[in-house]
């Protein structure tokens, strides 16, 4: 196997024996096979579009299948194998329709290979199609191909989330096909690959916009909300991941059953949505960063539901209590396929739950663009009076790799006349810190999930408009952490918006060559984090 799509990759170079995430070589091979098959399906889909053939089911499937190959999503060989076989079945069915419409028959290796029958045989096929194969010998083009591929995985994830809530844009689907089909081409020059990376960022902006419309249109704009970190006596279910629809259905199905629902990880910001917070049994938040789940889940006295990425190896301590849904998968863990969470509810009712109330801290969420811009006048006045000197956006994807304490230390050292906006799971390094306020404006503002980078950019654009300057001229600095492919897509989105001077860490991607990094530095002045003291001094002077 060879995998270097996440920040934790072994030695900062690539996982070759077993994934740091827990991915076994057979899973890696099947995921490589699935991506290979999706590239072939994309080639055929593009040919079909030339003849007016546009299959919504294919569009949605490609996003779901690609999403399943993200870090910490699906570790179930059986389900990945089925996705690969279905990809080929859809490809061949689409081929027939293209032929009938007078279209050209696509005869590339990706569009003609036949998957083997058994999982073992499929693994062997996948091992011959390693991620570096069939890609340009030029290391810089290969680097850019991987940047695009990993970015497109992030775009597919957000597009899938948006589609679940009825928000779609055919241009996004078309671009995903174009990007996947381009991976196997050898006639695209280096500069065009740079352009394709920027277009990936543009597609992700649209995908996040669609998801934002789906979330806020369905559940209302988030409002500032205090979320308890303790526990309430009674039966309990813990829901983790990102998917709001899954959470809504779980809340509906647990109503009146004496079960309290707790969020975990990136579900924390959901407490700010009006249509979700109306449920009285939607109680609070449990746990810290996703990578602490093995210890924290073992101590949770109820059922656990994983809705999207962030699942880790499931140990015996809670294997009988955890369920997956959506695209998440772990071998021998029960999987919910139809939004019927009765098995999760039954498990929760059979468990002791919390036997007494547990007091704890509380945190504030719900500072999306509507909430922040609702007090824009106060914020602008505070800046003009120099009560607020600077804004920092500190967030992104968290991970267990050493070096990430930088972000907690950075936030703690931010001067008291500065405001910190945060989003995504990177905030769990400091989410429960009490930074106080500036004239009633909290100094720590939780903007939301990773996809709410759209909301953060909207806030920055609105402030820039109010001060009649460009975003890069605002007293705003971005200090970001990255881990997986959604973070790659978001970073490309920021580049596509022309955002400069981003500090990125804790390490730079292994798939970025020195020459490609040089392009990013020259065009966007992206830089690695150093130490909190040095970076604060460089930013604030």
Name 42's Cβ contacts closer than 8 Å, sequence gap at least 6. 62, 176, 177, 178, 180, 181
Task: State the pLDDT at residue 168.
Answer: 98
Distance CA 478, CA 395 (A): 8
pLDDT at 58 exceeding the cut of 90: yes
Please report the DSSP string for 417-475 in residue order.
TEEEEEESGGGGGTTT----EETTEESEEEEESGGGHHHHHHHHHHHHHHHTS-GGGSS
Same CATH fold assignment for domains 10-218 and 225-350? no
| Domain definitions of the chain by residue range | 10-218, 225-350
442 pLDDT band, cuts 50/70/90, is very high
Q: What is the mean pLDDT of residues 316-342?
A: 97
* 362-365 and 225-228 strand pairing: antiparallel
Q: Are strands 503-505 and 476-481 parallel, antiparallel or unpaired?
A: parallel
Structure tokens at 398: 């968290």
Question: What's the pLDDT at 137?
Answer: 79
Q: Is 135 a residue whose pLDDT tops 80?
A: no
pLDDT in tens, 206-232: 999 999 999 999 999 999 999 999 999
Of 451 and 47, more confident: 47
Structure tokens at 305: 């539901």
CB atoms within 10 A of CB 534: 10
Q: What is the CATH number of domain 10-218?
A: 1.20.1270.20
Contact yes or no for 281/254 (Cβ under 8 A): yes
Does residue 67 have a pLDDT over 90? yes
**pLDDT at site 176:** 98
The residue-averaged pLDDT of 258-263 equals: 98
Least Cα distance to 293 among 444, 400, 372 occurs for 400
Q: Kindly tell me if the per-residue pLDDT of 443 is higher than 90.
A: yes
- Dump pLDDT digits (tens) for 90-115: 999 999 999 999 999 999 999 999 99
Average pLDDT over residues 37-66: 98
- Residue 468's φ and ψ, nearest 5 degrees, are 60, 45
Residue 129 has a pLDDT of: 83
CATH 3.40.50.2030 fits 225-350, yes or no: yes
Q: What pLDDT digit, counting tens, does each position of 162-193 carry?
A: 999 999 999 999 999 999 999 999 899 999 99
* Residue 63 burial (C-beta neighbours within 10 Å; 0-12, 13-18, 19+): buried
Contact 342, 252 (CB under 8 A): no
């Amino acid at each position: 196997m060879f995998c270097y799509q996440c920040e934790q990759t072994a030695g900062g170079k690539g996982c070759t024996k077993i994934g740091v995430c827990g991915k076994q070589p057979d899973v890696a091979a099947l995921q490589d096979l699935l991506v290979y098959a999706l590239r072939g399906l994309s080639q055929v889909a593009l040919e079909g579009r030339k003849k007016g053939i546009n299959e919504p089911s294919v569009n949605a499937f490609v996003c779901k299948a690609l999403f399943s190959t993200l870090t910490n999503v699906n570790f179930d060989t059986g389900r990945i194998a089925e996705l690969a076989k279905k990809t080929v079945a859809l490809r061949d069915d689409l081929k027939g329709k293209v032929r009938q419409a007078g279209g050209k028959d696509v005869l590339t290796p990706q569009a003609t290979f036949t998957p083997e029958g058994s999982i073992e045989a499929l693994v062997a096929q996948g091992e011959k199609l390693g991620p570096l194969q069939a890609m340009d010998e030029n290391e810089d083009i290969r680097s850019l191909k991987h940047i695009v591929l990993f970015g497109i995985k992030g775009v597919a994830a957000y597009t899938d989330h948006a589609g679940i809530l009825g928000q779609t844009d055919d241009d996004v689907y078309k671009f995903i096909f174009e990007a996947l089909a381009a991976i196997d081409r050898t006639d695209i020059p280096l500069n065009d690959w740079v352009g394709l990376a920027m277009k990936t960022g543009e597609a992700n902006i649209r995908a996040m916009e669609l998801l934002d419309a789906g979330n806020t249109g369905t559940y209302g704009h988030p409002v500032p909300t205090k979320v308890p970190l303790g526990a309430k006596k009674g039966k309990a279910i813990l829901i983790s991941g990102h998917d709001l629809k899954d959470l809504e259905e779980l809340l509906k199905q647990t109503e009146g059953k004496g079960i309290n629902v707790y969020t975990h990880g990136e579900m924390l910001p959901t407490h700010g949505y009006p249509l979700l917070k109306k449920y009285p049994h939607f109680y609070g938040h449990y746990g810290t960063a996703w990578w602490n789940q093995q210890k924290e889940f073992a101590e949770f006295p109820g059922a656990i539901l994983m809705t999207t990425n962030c699942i880790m190896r499931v140990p015996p301590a809670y294997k009988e209590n955890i369920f997956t849904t959506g695209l998440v998968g772990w071998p021998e863990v029960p999987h919910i396929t139809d939004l019927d969470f009765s098995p999760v509810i039954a498990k929760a009712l059979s468990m002791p739950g919390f036997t007494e109330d547990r007091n704890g801290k509380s945190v504030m969420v719900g500072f999306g663009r509507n909430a922040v811009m609702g007090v824009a006048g106060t914020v602008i006045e505070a800046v003009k009076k120099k009560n607020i000197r600077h804004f920092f956006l500190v967030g992104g994807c968290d991970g267990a790799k050493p070096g990430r304490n930088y972000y907690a230390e950075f936030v703690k050292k931010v001067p008291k006349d500065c405001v910190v906006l945060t989003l995504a799971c990177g905030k769990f390094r400091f989410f429960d810190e009490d930074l106080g306020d500036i004239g009633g404006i909290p100094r720590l503002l939780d903007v939301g999930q990773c996809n709410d980078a759209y909301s953060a950019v909207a806030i920055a654009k609105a402030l820039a408009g109010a001060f009649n300057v460009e975003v890069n001229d605002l007293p705003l600095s971005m200090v970001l952490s990255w881990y997986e492919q959604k973070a790659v897509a978001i970073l490309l989105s920021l580049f596509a918006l022309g955002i400069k001077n981003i500090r990125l860490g804790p390490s730079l991607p292994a798939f970025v060559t020195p020459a490609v990094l040089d392009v990013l530095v020259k065009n966007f002045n992206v830089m690695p984090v150093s130490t909190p003291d040095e970076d604060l001094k460089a930013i604030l002077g």
